[in-house]
Amino acid sequence: MPYTPPDLATFAAVFTDFADIAEPSYDYWLARAERVIDTDYGDDQLHATMLLTAHYLASQGIGAGTEAKVAGFAGASRVKSGDLELGWAAGATGNSTGGLTGTRYGRELRGLVIAIKGGPGVAGTGAFPPVVNYGSA
């Protein structure tokens, strides 16, 4: 079945934390996700694209879920609501877990990435740049 980009209504029906997001935000992060998720995902391409979109949105603090609400506060040692008081541990910046592990959407996608794209790595063993034989001089 060929990939068809999900519209916002379909995405929000599956990922209900994003039911009230603005279409421009959705369109932007969907386009970013589509640059990463390719046809190698086969029948899981749509799901993987929506997971990465949800991960991007939550990481930006967009959406109604807890992960979106605390997106900028990872590594905080103290957060107070009345008269806003924030405190970070020494050296803490942004999302302390980083990458796909920063949201539940990213963690689920990471499993797909490993299953589909994982495997043994290939290392080059030849000279660089390659030696080209142009014939005898």
Tens digits of per-residue pLDDT, 25-46? 999 999 999 999 999 999 999 9
| 79 φψ region: left (φ > 0), alpha (ψ -120 to 50), beta (else) | beta
pTM: 0.70
* Spatial distance between the Cα atoms of 46 and 83, rounded to a whole number of angstroms: 43
- Contact indicator for 49, 7 with CB cutoff of 8 Å: no
Long-range CB pairs of 85-94 (<8 Å, 24+ gap) are none
What residues does 75 pair with on adjacent strands?
none
* Beta carbons within 10 angstroms of residue 79's beta carbon: 12
Strands in the chain per DSSP E? 76-80, 85-88
Burial class (CB in 10 A: 0-12, 13-18, 19+), 4: exposed
Which pLDDT does position 135 carry in this prediction?
63
pLDDT tens digits for 35-86? 999 999 999 999 999 999 999 999 898 987 777 766 656 555 556 667 666 6
Which pLDDT does position 118 carry in this prediction?
81
pLDDT of 115 over the 80 cut: yes
| 116 φψ region: left (φ > 0), alpha (ψ -120 to 50), beta (else) | alpha
DSSP-derived secondary structure letter, 50: H
Residue with tokens 């991007």: 56
Which pLDDT does position 92 carry in this prediction?
46
DSSP-derived secondary structure letter, 61: T
